[in-house]
Amino acid sequence: MPISYDRARELAQRLRRGLSLEVLKDRLASRDPEVHPTPPRVPGQGEWSAEARATRLAFLEQRAGELPQLGGRGEPVDAAGLKGNIENFIGMTQIPTGVIGPLRINGLHASGDYYVPLATSEGALVASFDRGARLLTSAGGVATLVTTEQVQRAPGFVFTSIAEAALFAAWSVEQFERCREVASTATKHGQLVDMQTHIEANHVYLIFAYYTGDAAGQNMVTFCTAAVCADILERTPIKPVTWFLEANMSGDKKATALSFITTRGRNATAEVRLPAALVERRLHTTPERMAQYWRMSFIGGVQSGSIGVSGHISNGIAALFLATGQDVACVSEASVGITRMEVEADGSLYAAVSLPNLIVGTVGGGTKLPTAAECLRILDCVGNDRASRLAEICAAVALAGELSIVGALCAGDFARAHAMLGRGKSAK
C-alpha cells in the first residue's frame, strides 16, 4: 500500500490517536485467556431445534438487548420506510443467520470478545468460522489495525488532442484546494483527501479520493464529485468535448490491481501467533504443514492471475455483509486480500490477513434495515465512530476462516466436514 509522504504523516498521527507507542503496542497485544477469562461459547452447538435457536437468541439478547426481528417476533416491515433502499418493493428475502464466537480481538478500534452474526445458505460455513474464532481466542486473540481510509470516484474527460488533455491535467493538479472546498459543500461528513491524474491519449481521468466518515460512502463521493466537476467545467480554460462522472477507474464494485495497492474503503489487517501445540490440538495438523500448504496455494494463486491470494475470504465477508446491511456487491473488491502463514523460530505459526478494500459503513445505506440494525447492535457497531471497528472485525473474521479452511485441508477433513454439514449426511 504505497502512499505519499503527506498521507503517511497524517496516517501515523491518526493511528496513534494521542496514544504513546507503548500504549498502542499494549493495545494490540494478545490477552491470555487464563489471565483474561473468555466468555462462554454460543450455546446449542450442533443443534437445529427450535429450542436451541431460542437458547441462542436469549444468550445474545442478554448482551445486546431485544432482537425481535432476528427472533421472528418483529412487526412487518413498513414499505414506506424502505424508500432509498429498494424500488418496486414486494417483500423481504430471508437468509439464515448464525453466530460465531467468542472471537477475541485486540485492535485499535475493536477491542474485546465479540459474537459475530453471519448470514449464509452455505452449510459448514458458520461452523468453520466458529472453529477459527475459538482458535484465535484460545491464542489470546487476534491483533487488528485499520490504516488508510479512502473511497474514490474517477470522472473522465475527452479532448480533441493529446496536447489539450495534457494542458487540462496540468491545470487540474493546481486546483486541488479549490476542489476540496467545493466537495465540502456537498457533504457534512466527508472530506476530499487526494487527487490523482491519468492521461490516456486524449482522455484524462481524475481520481478523487475521499474520507467518508462512518458511511460506506459510494453515494457521498458521487455527490461530491458531481459538485467538483461542475465547478471544474465552469472554470477550466481547456474545455472538454464531453465528460463522464465515473470512467471506470475508481474500482467501484470490482477487483482491480489499482485498488489493491492504493486502498478503496478501509485497509484492515489482522495477525496472530499460534503455538504449535494449539495448532495440533485444535486443527489436527502442524504449523509446518500449514505453511507448506500456504506456499503451494500462493504459487497456485499467482499462476491463476489472482489479485491477492487467499483461501475463502469472500465467504466470511459476504456473510458478514449480508448480516449487517452492507452493499453486498462490494464483496467483489472487499474480499480481495492476502493471507500469509509462516513458521516462526520457536515453531509457532504466524498467520495474517490484509484486506485493502473494505467498503463498510455503520450509518446509512442498508444499516438501518431491521435485522441489519440488530446484527450491528450485537457487534456494538451502530452509528458514528464504529465503521473502523466493523472493518477490524471483518479482518479478524477473515483470518478465522482462513485458518480453519487451511487446517481442514491439511488434516484431510475438508470433504468430510462438507459432507456432514453441507449436505446433512454422515461422511463415509
Average pLDDT, the chain: 93
Over residues 144-152, the mean pLDDT reads 94
Task: Using the predicted structure, report yes or no on whether residue 175 has a pLDDT greater than 50.
Answer: yes
pLDDT 10s digits, 360-405: 999 999 999 999 999 999 999 999 999 999 999 999 999 999 999 9
Active site members: 122, 327, 418
Query: Hey, which residues does 196 pair with through a beta bridge?
Result: 207
Over residues 410-426, the mean pLDDT reads 67
pLDDT of residue 27: 83
pLDDT 10s digits, 72-99: 999 999 999 999 999 999 999 999 999 9
Cell output for 299: 504459487
pLDDT 10s digits, 309-353: 999 999 999 999 999 999 999 999 999 999 999 999 999 999 999
pLDDT 10s digits, 196-217: 999 999 999 999 999 999 999 9
Task: Using the predicted structure, report yes or no on whether residue 193 has a pLDDT greater than 80.
Answer: yes
Question: Of 353, 343, 335, whose CA–CA distance to 293 is shortest?
Answer: 343
CA 350 to chain centre: 21
Of 270 and 26, which is predicted with more confidence?
A: 270
pLDDT of residue 428: 39
Residue 273 to residues 44, 51, 152, 276, 348, Cα–Cα distance (Å): 29, 37, 34, 9, 6
Of 98 and 15, which is predicted with more confidence?
A: 98
Of 189 and 132, which is predicted with more confidence?
A: 132
What is the distance between the alpha carbons of residues 96 and 70, in angstroms, rounded to a whole number? 10
Q: What percent of the chain has pLDDT over 90?
A: 86
Question: Of 331, 338, 294, whose CA–CA distance to 314 is shortest?
Answer: 331
Over residues 57-69, the mean pLDDT reads 96
Residue 10 to residues 4, 182, 229, Cα–Cα distance (Å): 10, 22, 26
Cell output for 376: 450491528
